[in-house]
Amino acid sequence: MNNIRRVLVANRGEIALRVIRACKELGLETVAIYSEGDKGCRHVRMADRAVCIGPAPATRSYLNKEAILAVAKLTNADAIHPGYGFLAENSTFAEACANNGIHFVGPSAEAIRAMGDKVKARQIAARLGISVIPGSEGGLGNWDEVIEIARQVGYPLLLKAAAGGGGRGMQVVNSDGEVKDAFIRARAEAGAAFSNDLLYVEKYIENARHVEVQILADQHGNVVHLGERDCTIQRRHQKLLEEAPCPVISPELRDRLTAAAVSIARHIGYTSAGTVEFLVDLDQENFYFMEMNTRIQVEHPVTEMLTGVDIVQEQLRIVAGEPLSITQADIQPRGHAIECRINAEDPQNGFQPTPGLITRFLPPGGMGVRLDSHCYAGYTVPPYYDSLVAKLIVVANDRHQAIRRMLRALQEFEIEGIPTTISFHQQLLLNEDFQAGTFNTRWLENRFGKEE
């Protein structure tokens, strides 16, 4: 990597550690940024150099584009890796990096814009002959248009933010009487989260699986997929557990899904790692394009455990202008992998966040077990950011063995001082429906206890 020797990691927590480790293995120097609320975070100690970027609130630190670029120049960083969240899908920031002669570890600003507008992304998929969920052709002007679309496709419908994802700005609507209030709530939430309150609407498919395809694309025209992940287990549209491969799709459907993902990436001239998300209709045995995430995903370790491909290192090779280190023929997923997102939340109290001091932190180990975490005994989980404290990932020969291995690892994992979701994941994995693979996107809400 002749043109990259020092990488600034514009993120925090476990993903910052993940990127720093990948850089170290490639012989690259690292610069960490941290807020005043993150002085005790492990990524601060692991980087070759660390610079305080500002006060604890993200708007004054991790989202401060000008300050981050200033630190990059001050430390002579050649590239900035944004991780996920924060500025990872901010086309303006990607453009600013390029204008300042700094490599943005991700796709081009044009690709981010093309897929960042969910309405335009749907239109691109449709032009490629990929099915999209029935709904609005463009953004919605008012709630009356939702009622009009319901006349054509029926309820339930799902209101979604055109400028973002991650469950923000989403509202399920079951009747005409719910439309106005849901529209107002969704628009307010979208505006607050993305500074853009434009909404669109889709038919809400009730018996569906959320399946995504991981792709990698370099600057030499090479595009590969690394298989699919099942992300169906969600609460309030937030993923809680992911697994790969999806246990309910046929090889023929898998081939169609992965081909669709690759075609979208090729069409927009995509480079870097990306994820194309689909909704699989179990009743119709069909799939629909949902969106493309133009960044590394939280759940990328699931795919790494199956394929042996270091996705973050591939991102760094791509931005340095190197070709992918693997071809499609090299990618042979083996076994079954599961990831549990362990959050500082209290499942007994509506999953309320539980920031505070971790007094005991004993990680699990053993064959086929991976833990991505920035936490340790004596670390204080701050109240300013996402509640994720660890990602526990296992891989085994088959799904049954992977479930057993994950249960064993969860039993070993000890976190004291704050409530976490470890016990919730244990209950989930012991559930007969989950073990049989007979669940959909509404299963957790409808069949697994009460969802607050």
Report whether pLDDT(296) > 70.
Answer: yes
Location of structure tokens 């063995």: 401
Report whether pLDDT(184) > 90.
Answer: yes
Report whether pLDDT(449) > 70.
Answer: no
d(CA 243, CA 309): 16
Report whether pLDDT(439) > 70.
Answer: yes
Instruction: Report the pLDDT averaged over residues 355-377.
Output: 98
Element (H, E) at 202: strand 199-203
Q: What angle do CA 171, 232, 216 make, to 5 degrees?
A: 105
* pTM, full prediction: 0.91
Report whether pLDDT(363) > 50.
Answer: yes
Question: Max CA-CA distance within the chain?
Answer: 61
Residues with a known catalytic role: 295
Report whether pLDDT(194) > 90.
Answer: no
pLDDT tens digits for 392-437? 999 999 999 999 999 999 999 999 999 999 999 999 999 999 999 9
CB–CB of 227/303 below 8 Å?
A: yes
Range with lowest mean pLDDT among 69-73, 245-249, 446-450: 446-450
**DSSP SS3 for 135:** strand
Report whether pLDDT(448) > 80.
Answer: no
Which domains can be identified in the chain, with CATH numbers? 6-105 (3.40.50.20), 134-203 (3.30.1490.20), 208-447 (3.30.470.20)
